[in-house]
Amino acid sequence: MTSMRAASIFTAVLTLVYDEDDWLTIGVDNGTGAKVEVTGQFDDGRIQFNPADVEMLLDFLTRVLASEQPYGIVSVTVPHGDGEPNAWAWHLKDMEWLTPDQALSWLGGEVTYKTGFRLAPDLVTNPDAAPVTEEVKAILHARGLNKDQEPDTTPAAADQSHGTPGTDAGNCAQCARLLIWNGTGKGVHDEWGEYFCSGPRPAGARSAVHVLAAPKTVQPQT
């Protein structure tokens, strides 16, 4: 269903770059001059979007995806200190990222375009962990993004839920990639800046994002 696909893309884009920035903008451009954007402000640990704006963007994205060959892009923009905001963009047809030059031709200037984040909406089946309000989660659920997820029983480093930004956080319990504490020290991403666990994963892996492995316990010598 294109409606559910739109909801998973929205959630994937949001989750991929979320780092407790002051604001975050998600935009969809259909490639023929029509564009819809929604901006949310960070408050109380989540991005506060206007639910009506989210509905409008998802309706527009659903129409773009409904075409046989969806020619369009989805983008996300976040602030970057006192400098130009950072932005990423992906082709809706194959979820490949746009190069900075391609993004510039689509979206114009006044931002710094980044690459390196792979968008993996197929891994998003439930919006409950997304940093948005309950109203927005309800909208995403209503569009079919409501597959029940089993509780994640992978050993997590609960006692090490915070770290020093930019330092080694250990390895992912699912794909074994080296993880790094993000800019807030409250989340982790891999060496390429990706939060989604999209690499080789063992059968039965439950989480769409990287999971911290539990710290190894040193066995007492006998």
Task: Tell me the pTM.
Answer: 0.68
Question: Residue type at 83?
Answer: G
pLDDT for res 81:
80
Q: In what order do the strands lie in the sheet with 178-181?
A: 168-171, 178-181, 188-190
Instruction: Give me the chain's average pLDDT, please.
Output: 80
Can you give the pLDDT at residue 195?
Answer: 65
Q: Which amino acid is at 20?
A: E
Residue range 105-133, pLDDT digits in tens: 888 878 898 887 778 888 788 888 889 99
Cα 134 from chain centre: 18
Q: Give the three-class secondary structure for 176.
A: coil
